[in-house]
Amino acid sequence: MFTINRENLKKSHQTIWFVIDFLMLGLLVLNLAVIIFDSIYHFEAIQDFFRESLPAFYNVYQPVHRNFIFYDLIFVSIFLTEFFVRWLYAVWRGIYQRWYFYPFIHWYDLLGCIPTSGMRFLRVLRIISIVYRLHRYGIIDFTRTRLFQFLAFYYEAFMEELSDRIVLKVLSGVQDEVRRGSPLMEKVQSDIIYPRKDVLIGWISDRVADLASQGYIPNRDALRQYLESCINEAIRQNPEMARLKLLPIFGNQVRGTLEEVVGDITAHVLNQVMEDLSSSRNHDFINDLVDALLPDPSQLTTQQGTVDTELGQRQGNEVLINLTLEIIDAIKEQVHHKRWREQL
């Protein structure tokens, strides 16, 4: 059960109204309980049960049942009195812009006072409004109650199942559109990806620079030794290089010099390439690469000819379609994951 926060009750400076809220909450719960019981008591089998098993209770409650409208009017008079008192208070404090706004805003309070079976259960809304007001001011915290946690858990489970089915239906529809050759992929490429090509180039350039600096530079010496060992082994396995040994006097020296020169050149070229990639100088290279992979849609028919262009465009579209389908499949797989089952 929830507890009353007395400190917030004192800080609110509305203690009297919150006391009235608690009193009205108790009366509403009692009134609804009596209404439900009297509705059940209408059945003759229930009356026969009380007549035979609990004759004392039957004799006391039978007059109440016959004049139930009168006893309900007692509750209604209390509810109406509280309603008009709050209305006068709202007019006096100017809570609303017009004096007649209060009954329209609290329509459920007014209609719930009508003593008919259809209107009586609007008093449930009044209970909800009182509990919500007490919770909003921090007087009570019903989110800690077991009932709220139970209802919140199954509400979240229901909403997750419902939303997952909707999302899966939408994603499956998108996949069908893509497979049927919808112009979606051309729109994605021409209207979404290409206008953001500069942003894409900048992001790829930064990622390549980070990977080159973090992956190559710390391991540069080890990679150089590995390349030199591979080059030396390749030179030893090369039959043309093996003939250098046949040279008199300088054969082994020439072969060793060639191994060092080739190793140094290869390591220097690799080092220069990786340093260029790890610096801002890689931007032009990435720009050319993206231009080759993502040509300007307005210039597709003038680059190499209609046939080659259409073939390349078709192949690019197939790659983009397959990539899109795989991405959607991954999203659908994630949607299938049920978080509420883990909590359960």
Of 13-17, 50-54, 135-139, 315-319, where does the model show the most confidence? 50-54
Residue 88, pLDDT score = 92
Which domain, by its residues, includes 326? 175-343
pLDDT higher than threshold 80 for residue 25 = yes
Q: Which residue has the higher pLDDT, 24 or 2?
A: 24
In-domain check, residue 150: no
Closest CA to 122 of 150, 83, 157, 88: 83
250 and 298 co-located in one domain? yes
208 and 334 co-located in one domain? yes
Reported pTM: 0.49
pLDDT higher than threshold 50 for residue 304 = no
In-domain check, residue 296: yes
pLDDT higher than threshold 80 for residue 243 = no
Confidence class for position 307, pLDDT limits 50, 70, 90: very low
In-domain check, residue 86: yes
Q: What string of H, E and C letters represents the secondary structure of 98-127? A: CCCHHHHHCHHHHHCCCCCHHHHCCHHHHH
Give the position of tokens 């006096």: 92
205 and 262 co-located in one domain? yes
Q: How many independent structural domains does the chain possess?
A: 2
139 and 230 co-located in one domain? no
201 and 339 co-located in one domain? yes
Closest CA to 193 of 208, 181, 179, 203: 203
Share of the chain above pLDDT 90, in %: 9
Q: Which amino acid is at 275?
A: E
The secondary structure of residue 218, as a DSSP letter, is G
83 and 231 co-located in one domain? no
201 and 85 co-located in one domain? no
Opening angle at CA 303, ends 301 and 305, nearest 5: 60
Residues ≥6 apart with Cβ < 8 Å to 200 = 193, 290, 294
List, in sequence order, the alpha helices (H) in the chain. Answer: 6-11, 15-41, 44-53, 55-66, 68-93, 101-105, 107-111, 117-120, 123-136, 146-179, 184-187, 197-215, 220-237, 239-242, 251-277, 282-293, 306-335, 339-343
Confidence class for position 84, pLDDT limits 50, 70, 90: very high
Q: Which residue has the higher pLDDT, 97 or 8?
A: 97
Domain boundary among 89, 121, 144: 144
Lookup: tokens for 305: 């000819």
In-domain check, residue 330: yes
- pLDDT (mean) for 119-126: 86
337 and 196 co-located in one domain? yes
CA distance 43 to 63: 16
In-domain check, residue 102: yes
Residue 29, pLDDT score = 92
In-domain check, residue 154: no
pLDDT higher than threshold 80 for residue 75 = yes
13 and 80 co-located in one domain? yes
245 and 296 co-located in one domain? yes
Residue 156, pLDDT score = 84
132 and 206 co-located in one domain? no
> Mean pLDDT over all residues of the chain?
76
pLDDT higher than threshold 50 for residue 303 = no
Lookup: tokens for 101: 């706004």
Residues ≥6 apart with Cβ < 8 Å to 9 = 15, 18, 139
123 and 40 co-located in one domain? yes
Residue 301, pLDDT score = 47
In-domain check, residue 292: yes
Q: What is the pLDDT of residues 189-231, one digit of tens each?
A: 677 777 777 777 777 777 777 776 776 667 777 777 777 777 7
